[in-house]
Amino acid sequence: MTIPPRDDLALMEGYHSPQVDVAVRLNTNEAPEPPPSGFTEALAAEVAALDWHRYPDRSYTALREAIAAHHGVAPEQVFAANGSNEVLQTLCLAYGGTGRAVAVFEPTYALHSHIARVTGTAVAVGERTEDHALDLAEVRRVLAEADPAITFLCSPNNPTGMLEDEATVREVLDLVPGLLVVDEAYGQFAPWSALELVDDDRPLVVTRTYSKTWSMAAARLGYLIGPSPLVAQLDQIVLPYHLDSVKQAAGRLALGFDEAMRTRVASLVEERGRVVARLSDLPVTVWPSAANFVLFRPEGRDGEAVWRSLLDRSVLVRDCSSWPRLDGCLRVTIGTPAEDDAFLAALEEALA
Ligand code: PMP
């Protein structure tokens, strides 16, 4: 097959995160445990009773209402899709495209610029400070130069784990010429959320995912909370029946396990503190994290070599060592205490 892709896609790199078979997998920020057993049973009962020969509820009414109730917003302020990546893609399809730009501040989640480019949208890149913090003077510069239709923030930021506080998000919101998207894929692990700023009169959306907190990465489900007129526009451009009936049921049922999930998030936050404390005793630089992962850089060692030594010990973390602005850095997902101990032991050996 030799049909070339669009010229502007030909030189693009895809998104790679190796899926290798290892004992301890801490590279993609998933939840370390499957959903509670009551969830799988309830879902199995609903799946058995599905009208398989009918298209799903196109407006995913029950899921939408459940998400809205969970966040205390109106169902008209909820838009869901197949993973928050598809939510981001739908935003780019609606507000990006030829002649338009998005703004990102690197280092940040690689898919923001990748998805923008795939949708034919130009990407204006701003720099963060040396310690990965947002630089408001740089934000002003980029927004003034590029006039972006969409400005992306990621909070807590992937892969650094850093949280944007309320004052910063409010300032950026005042500056953006278009829409501000705050990607909160890891929002539950953080002490503050931009969700409280969402209002029908503000050009702000907050995206969330079921892939992390809700232990449902396999299902591919994410959503945004935003102004209802924007949600109505997204409803018009997304493919008909894009959310299948099984996923709609899974997403609705999961929210019934809110208490159990809050407990799990609290344990992961505590575990994150333990891992950071142990890392601080090793010859590595550690960045403060408000997410379920931690970015660190082995000092005086080649990052990729350390990554390989961990892999040799059947521990897989994310190798960011060759990424721009993240020279020598690795990112580890917080797992179960046993998984984290295996990682810490392997790292001690790798650094010895
Ligand atoms: N945003 C961020 C910041 C992420 O890290 C991820 C997952 N890697 C996503 C969005 C995509 O999540 P989903 O599984 O919902 O597509």
pTM of the model: 0.97
- Which pLDDT value is given to residue 127? 98
Asked whether 85 lines ligand 1 (CB < 6 A), one says yes
Question: Which of 19, 84, 181 is the pocket-test mutation for ligand 1 (most atoms within 8 Å of CB)?
Answer: 84
Cα-Cα-Cα-Cα dihedral sign, residues 134, 137, 142, 143: positive
Q: How close is the Cα of 281 to the center of ligand 1, in Å?
A: 30
Question: Which of 90, 111, 154, 213 is the pocket-test mutation for ligand 1 (most atoms within 8 Å of CB)?
Answer: 111
Which ligand 1 atom is the nearest neighbour of the CA of 211? 14
- Which pLDDT value is given to residue 1? 72
DSSP conformational letter for 189? G
Determine the 3-state secondary structure of 106 from DSSP: strand
- Which pLDDT value is given to residue 225? 98
- Which pLDDT value is given to residue 7? 85
Q: From 95, 291, 81, 71, select the one nearest 198 (Cα to Cα).
A: 71
Strand order from edge to edge, sheet including 315-319:
24-26, 315-319, 330-333, 293-298, 284-286
- Chain-centre distance for alpha carbon 219: 15
Residues facing 318 on adjacent strands: 331
Which ligand 1 atom is the nearest neighbour of the CA of 86? 16
Q: How close is the Cα of 85 to the center of ligand 1, in Å?
A: 6
- Which pLDDT value is given to residue 14? 67
CA–CA dist 227, 213 (Å, integer):
24
In 29-95 the beta strands, taken as DSSP E runs, fall at: 78-81
**Number of alpha carbons in the 13 Å side-chain half-sphere of residue 197:** 22
**Number of alpha carbons in the 13 Å side-chain half-sphere of residue 138:** 15
- Which pLDDT value is given to residue 136? 97
**Number of alpha carbons in the 13 Å side-chain half-sphere of residue 274:** 17
Phi and psi torsions of 351, nearest 5°: -90, -10
Question: Mean pLDDT, 10 residues at a time, over the chain (352 residues)?
Answer: 83 72 95 94 96 97 98 98 98 97 97 96 97 96 98 98 98 98 98 97 98 94 98 97 98 96 97 98 97 97 96 97 95 98 98 94
Q: Whose CA is nearest to atom 2 of ligand 1?
A: 185
Q: What is the dihedral of CA 10, 13, 15, 16, to 10 degrees?
A: 130
